[in-house]
Amino acid sequence: MDLQRNPLLQTDGLPQFDQILPSHVTSAVRQAIREAEAKFLQLEKQDTSGWDDLMVPLADIHLRLSDVISPVGHLNGVRNSPELRQAYEEVQPEIVAFDLRMSQSDAMFQRVKRLSEQKETLSWPVARKRIIEKYLQNARLSGIELPAEKRKRFNEISTKLTQLSTDFSNHLLDATKEYSMILRDSSDITGLTAGFLSMAAQRFAQKFPEEKSGGAEKGPWLVSLDYPAFVPFMENSKRRDLRESLFRAFVTRASDGSYDNRPLIIEILRLRREQANLLGFRSYAELSLSRKMAGEVSRVYHLLDELKDAAWANAQNELKELQTLAETEGITEPLKNWDIAYWAKRLQEKKFSFTDEDLKPYFPLSSVLDGLFSLVKRLFGIRVQDAQGETSVWHPDVRFYNIFDENNAHIASFFLDPYSRPENKRGGAWMDDCKIRYLKKDGSVQKPVAYLVCNSTPPVDGSHPALLTFREVETLFHEFGHGLQHMLTRVDDPDVSGINGVEWDAVELASQFMENWCYHRQTLMNMALHYQSGDALPEDLYQNLLASKTFRSASQMLRQVQISLLDMELHHNWDPESDSRSPFDIQAEIARKTSVMPPLKEDQFLCSFSHIFAGAYAAGYYSYKWAEVLSADAFAAFEDAGLENEDAVRKTGHRYRETILACGGSEHPMDVFRKFRGREPDTAALLRHSALTKGA
C-alpha cells in the first residue's frame, strides 16, 4: 500500500474518517512507530538536559504517534468490524512494546532526573514541575528501576494485559450483540410503551430482513441487552417471566461458551497483582492509588464506609416500600431481582405522577443541545456553533461543532455521536480526545478537539426525532462536562493539558458537576420543549421531576458503593495464588454486605464489568463517588452564590472555568479545588443532594 496516501498518516488536520479502512491500520501504525523510534533514538543520544531540547521533543513524539493510533482505537469502539478488530489486535503488542521502550529508557530517565535537580527548575511554572514529577513517577511505575529479568517479566505482563483487556471487551460486545429476545405475541408486550415497540420492531426488521415485519403494532419485536432496550423493558414489561429471562441473560453476559470472560478475569487479576509485586507494592490497589488523589487505600475504604452507613437504613426502607406496593397489587411472594426496576418505576409514577414516556416528548435531542449550549454560554461565556460538513465523520448520525470564546475566537471543536448502534458500537458513554491543546513550535496553539459518545435511543421510523429519556439527558450533560475540561483548558503543555495529567479520581468532577444543572429550573425549561407543539414542560411535571431527584437515592448509593468495594477487594485483598474463593465468591460476599436485596446466585456481573477489566478504572471505580463529593461541593458554590442571581452565577462560573476547567492536570486537583472553593471538599453537599442527611 502507498503510505503517502494512507489517511491515518495525514495528521495535520482532523482524521479522515470517510477514508480510513481496516486495511490502512497495520501499515500506518508500523510506519508511525518506525518514525517515532528513529526520533526517540536520536533524542536518547543527546547530552543536553534543558526543557526545550528534552521535554518538548519527547512530547512531540507522543503526539505524532497518538495522532495515528488514536483514531484506530476510537473506530474500534464506534465502528467495530471483524476486519478492524483483527488489524487493531495485530498492532497492539507493537504499540505496547514501544510505549514500554520509551518509558523504560535509562538514558531518558537519567536526563530527566538531572533536569529535575537543576536550580532553574525552582522558578519553573507549576505545570512543568508536575510534568517532570509525573514523568519520573510513570517511569518508575513502568519498571525502569527493575533488574533486567524482572523488567522483562514486567513487559511480558504489560503486553498480555493489553490483549486480555481487548479480548474482554470484544467478548462482551459479541455476547451483547448475539443475544435476542424475540416477542411475537401481543401478550408478550403488555406494559411496553409505543416508543419502545417501534424501536424493537425496527431492530427485528434490521436483524431479520428476510422475515416479514408488521411494524410496531404487529411485530415481531426484538429486545436486546444494550441499555436503551434492557432498561425500559425491565421497568415496564408486565410479563414477570420475560423480565426474569432478560435479567438472567443480562447478568450472565459473556460468562460461557466462546465469549466466556471468567478465565480472563482471573488471569487479569493475577497478572496485575504480579506486576504490582514486581514494583514493590503489596497489591495492585496500592499501585493504582499511588497515582490518584486519594493516595491511600484506607482513605477509599473510609469514604465507602461513610457512604454505606449513610445509605443503609434508607435503602432498607426503600425496598420495603416496593414490597408494600407490590402486595397491594396482589404480589404475595418476596420481590426478586428482576422485579425491582418494574416496581420502582410503578412507585415513581405513583409518587410523582409521571413516566419516562410523559417526559420524552419534551426532550428531543435538538432542544436538549440548544439548552445545553445556552447553559455553557451563561456559565462560561462560550458559544457553540454547528459545523456540520466541515470535516468527515464515521457515521451519518455524527455531528460536528465549533466552540468560540467571548471574543468570538475559535478555541475548540467536538464530535458528537449520540445514538446506540448495538451491531458495531460498544455500550456506555464516554469522552475521548481527538486533538490535544498544545503550543506548537511556530508559536501557534493547536486547538483541542473532543469525541463525545453516547448510546441514546435513536429516532424511530422517521416518525419523530430522537426523543431522550431524562437519564439520557443527564448522560449527555455528563459527557459534555468531560469535554469542557478537555476543550476549555488554558494549558499549553500537552502532558497536562485538558484531562491529561488529572488524577483519575478527580477527572469525574467536571462531568458530574454538569448533571446538577439538569434539574435547575432555568436550564431545564430552556431545553424541555415539546417536539410537536414547542410548549415548555408543564410546571407540575417539573415539580414532580424535581421531587423525584432523590427517589431511591439510598439504593443507588449502595449499588455504587457495592461495585466500588468489589473492585477494591479484588485488587487489594484477594490473592489468586492463595485464596480459595473465586472472584465471584467475593462478588457475592460484597453484595450480601452492601445490598438489601439478596443477590442472584447465578449473577456473573464481573463478566461485563468492563470499567475495570477493559477500561481505566481498575482499583479506581470508587473515583465516581470520590469525584461526586467534589462535584456536589462545587455545585454548592453556585447554590451558595444564588442560582437565580445572574451576576453571581456568571462570576462563579468564571471562577470555575479559570480553575477546574482551565488548569487541567497542571496542578494537583486538591490545589485546584481549593482555588475554586476556598477550602478542601466536604461530603455534606453530596449527602444533602442525595437526601441522606437530616432535614434534607
Supply φ then ψ for residue 317, to 5 degrees: -65, -35
Mean pLDDT of 132-156: 96
The one-letter amino acid code at 162 reads T
Residues 6+ apart with CB under 8 A from 318: 552, 554, 555, 596
The label of the residue with cell 417471566 reads 241
Task: Give the tens place of pLDDT for each residue, 628-653.
Answer: 999 999 999 999 999 999 999 999 99
Q: Are residues 240 and 270 in the same domain?
A: no
18 lies in the same domain as 94:
yes
228 and 206 inside one domain: yes
Q: What range does the domain containing 12 cover?
A: 3-103+105-141
CA 547-623-617 angle, 5° bins? 125
289 shares a domain with 238: no
Give 415 or 46, the one with higher predicted confidence: 415
pLDDT given for residue 123 in this prediction: 82
C-alpha cell at 340: 425491582
pLDDT above 80: residue 462: no
Mean pLDDT, residues 51-80 taken together: 94
695: pLDDT strictly greater than 50? no
- Asked if the structure places residue 527 within a domain, the reply is no
Q: Decide: 626 and 277 in contact? Cβ < 8 Å.
A: no
- Answer yes or no: do 221 and 288 share one domain: no
Residues 18 and 133 in one domain: yes
Give a yes or no: residue 370 inside a domain. Answer: no
Q: What's 14's domain CATH number? A: 1.20.1050.40
pLDDT confidence of residue 237: 97
pTM of the model: 0.88
Shared domain check, 295 and 240: no
Among the three residues 602, 621, 640, which one is the final residue of a domain in this structure? 621
d(CA 36, CA 71) in angstroms, rounded, equals 17
Residue 324 lies in a domain: yes
**Residues with active-site annotation:** 479
Given a cut of 80, is residue 147 above it in pLDDT?
A: yes
Average pLDDT over residues 175-185: 95
Is 45 within the bounds of a domain? yes
Distance (Å, whole) CA 352 – CA 550: 12
**The pLDDT of residue 122:** 75
pLDDT of 46 above 50? yes
Query: Looking at the domain assignment, is residue 438 inside a domain?
Result: no
User: Mean pLDDT score of the chain, rounded to an integer?
Assistant: 94
Residue 229 phi/psi, 5° resolution? -100, -45
Same domain, 247 and 262: no
The yes-or-no verdict on residue 694 having pLDDT over 60 is no
**Grid cell for residue 404:** 468560540
pLDDT digits (tens, 9 = 90+) for 284-319: 999 999 999 999 999 999 999 999 999 999 999 999
The whole-number pLDDT of residue 1 equals 53
Helix (H, G, I), strand (E, B) or coil at 696: coil
pLDDT of 251 above 90: yes
Q: Are 98 and 471 in contact (CB under 8 A)?
A: no
Percent of the chain having pLDDT more than 90?
Answer: 90
Distance (Å, whole) CA 67 – CA 436 = 10
Give me the pLDDT at residue 441, please.
86
- Residues 216-245 pLDDT 10s: 899 999 999 998 899 999 999 999 999 999
The predicted-structure confidence for 361-409, as pLDDT tens digits, reads as follows: 999 999 999 999 999 999 999 999 999 999 999 999 999 999 999 999 9
pLDDT tens string 318-367: 999 999 999 999 998 999 999 999 999 999 999 998 888 899 999 999 99
For residues 537 and 499, the answer to whether their CB atoms sit within 8 Å is: no
Same domain, yes or no: 237 and 309 = no
If DSSP codes are grouped into helix, strand and coil, which group holds residue 667?
coil
| Mean pLDDT of the region 655-659 | 98
Domain C-terminal end among 237, 252, 267: 252
Q: Indicate if 33 and 136 belong to the same structural domain.
A: yes
How many structural domains does the chain have? 3
293, 205: one domain? no
Residue 433 lies in a domain: no
Structural domain includes residue 187: yes
- Which CATH number do you get for residue 606? 1.10.1370.10
Q: Over pLDDT 70: what percentage of the chain?
A: 99
pLDDT of residue 2: 61
Residue 616 lies in a domain: yes
Say yes or no: 268 and 239 in one domain.
no
The domain boundary, picked from 252, 267, 300, lies at: 252
Which string of DSSP letters, residue by residue, matches 420-465? --TTTS-SS-EEEEEE--EE-TTS-EEPPEEEEEEEEPPPBTTTB-
